[in-house]
Amino acid sequence: MSGRAPRRPARPQRPPAQRVYDLPRWRDLGSLGRTKSFVRKATEVHGGREAVVKHCADLPGQRLTRFQRIRLQRFHQEALYMHRMTGTPGILPVWDIDGEHGDRPRWYAMPHARPLADALDGNSTLLDVVAHVAELAGTLAALAEQGTYHRDIKPDNLFWYDGAPVLGDFGIAAIAHMPAGLTRQGEGIGPANFLAPEMRRAAGPGSGERADVYSLAKTLFVLAHPRRGPYPPFGTHRVDAEEFSLWSLGGGNATLALGHVLEAATQHAIGDRLTMADFHAELRAWLARHRADAARFTPLGGRSFRRGLGDPALWDRHHRDEETTRAMLLPCVRRIAEALTGDPGAWTEGIDHDNGDSTLGTYDWQPNSEEGFVPEGVLWMATHAHDGRRVVLEAVLDHEVCFLAEAQRGGPPWTLERQWGHTPWHRARMPRTNDRLRELTDEVVEWIAGIAPDTRTAPDRPVTASRTPVTGP
């Protein structure tokens, strides 16, 4: 018989108390979404209006953590501010607010507005997107004059109400004459792709005087590309970078002009960035110049974010081409990195324009649009620098795929030391395509093996290939 004392029976766990969301003036109809149970659909008991009632996530009186106390303070600030601003054009109104708890309301009710992205249908064009964003920029410019900054501009917080775009969710705003900094030290305050560099951590400087400009410009890009995905490319908008391209939206050179506005609005340095008032003025000037050319702009529902890939079958093929091509590139860039640095993991993926990344060679690209050669996709990989040298390996996709490599020195800024390719165009995912890439890799590795650490080789003359598919073995 065991000498162990018998275990005590486990104490039964009480299920958490079910929170009641019904209010005297509003009948609860359930959660609005899956992630925030405290944001509820409701109908007015006497008037019948359909609303969204936002309750505080953490009830006073409970044992709250420091973060929960901060979150509760945010809610009070947001509810009071939005109630005070009701009737202001461009801000989602508050229909009703908790009057029993003074300056610490526990709920407020607002119209059940449509997301702005849903108000842009398949017949909308870039002109509509810019017009709506310009209205919001005007609202934000007026708030900035009062010392108020939203700090969380993204598509999820923009709505369509009463025939106009409006701002919602001021939960982390810096509001004039109210306590600022209602975020934890080191806490992320929004999706990084939309946030200005200085606001990617709550400890960032200031209240975000020009952060809203950055975020609104990024939001414009996402709204204009509904099939691209929920997040914009990271970093400063670059008119010369394929991932920031606007040309598929139509409008000819109009999109290039808008790209320069977005580039000025997303500068990394705060002082180099447009103010919200300037951003508003530039968007209005762009609209005034190009509104008469509405027929030149492509409906948002009439194309995907890549040229010629509006057909779902073509998009699926392109996606599989990219995935397979990337899988082909990985062992090759590892092999090159090991030859150059001794470490097969010493490489990065993706273009970093702030680091001066670009291809430097001369290539015989054949124009495929009004803007010249615009590929459907680019896959970029580069080794870490070693003895002042790095090697770039790139795949360019445009129905078919070709590869190129460059040895670059001294960066940033980088200078071209040698280039290989581009290889002949070939159908993606084919065995011979992989053969071409491996042959290119062999040439690069052989070159690395033949150079001394301090040798500087004069750049080779550019090697070009015609834009015709390979038909022979």
Cis peptide bond N-terminal to 344, omega within 30: no
Assess contact for 71 and 57: CB atoms under 8 A: yes
Among 225-229, 304-308, 424-428, name the most confident range: 424-428
In tens, the pLDDT along 418-472 reads 999 899 999 999 999 999 999 999 999 999 999 855 443 434 434 434 443 333 3
pLDDT in tens, 143-153: 999 888 888 89
Select the more confidently predicted residue: 219 or 462. Answer: 219
- pLDDT at site 4: 58
Average pLDDT over residues 103-112: 91
Contacts of 66 (CB under 8 A, 6+ apart): 184
Residue with tokens 């040309």: 247
Q: Is the pLDDT of residue 323 over 60?
A: yes
For 340-390, what is each residue's pLDDT tens digit?
Answer: 999 999 998 877 665 678 889 988 888 877 777 888 888 889 999 999 999
Please identify which residue in the block is written with the tokens 């108390």: 17
CA distance 12 to 221: 53
Q: What is the pLDDT of residue 188?
A: 46
Q: What is the largest CA-CA distance in the chain?
A: 94
Q: Is the pLDDT of residue 272 over 90?
A: yes
Over 80: is that where the pLDDT of 416 sits?
yes
Other Cβ atoms within 10 Å of 355 Cβ, number: 14
Higher per-residue pLDDT: 470 or 300: 300
> What span, in angstroms and rounded, lies between the C-alpha atoms of 81 and 229?
32
Instruction: Calculate Rg over the CA atoms of the chain.
Output: 28
Contact (Cβ atoms closer than 8 angstroms) between residue 166 and residue 214: no
Rounded average pLDDT over 150-169: 92
Q: List Cβ neighbours of 132 (8 Å cut-off, separation of 6 or more).
A: 116, 119, 120, 165, 223
Rounded CA gap, 196 and 275, in Å? 13
Q: Output the pLDDT for position 332.
A: 96
Residue 101 has pLDDT above 70, yes or no: yes
Tokens of 73: 């303070």
**β-bridge partners, 149:** 174
- Cα 375 to chain centroid distance, Å, stands at 21
Alpha-carbon distances, residue 87 vs 76, 82, 94, 123, 166 (angstroms): 19, 10, 9, 30, 11
Residue 458 pLDDT: 39
Answer yes or no: is pLDDT of 305 > 80.
Answer: no
Q: In whole numbers, what is the pLDDT of the chain averaged over residues?
A: 82
Overall average pLDDT of the 109-134 stretch: 94
How would residue 17 be classed by pLDDT, with cut points 50, 70 and 90? low
pLDDT value for 273: 95
The pTM assigned to this predicted structure is 0.60
* Torsion sign (Cα): 289, 295, 300, 303: negative
How many Cα atoms occupy the beta-carbon half-sphere of 66 within 13 Å? 5
Q: Which of 2-6, 241-245, 277-281, 391-395 has the lowest mean pLDDT?
A: 2-6
Q: Dump pLDDT digits (tens) for 231-242.
A: 888 899 998 787
- Minimum mean pLDDT range among 61-65, 254-258, 332-336: 61-65
Mean pLDDT for 235-253 is: 83
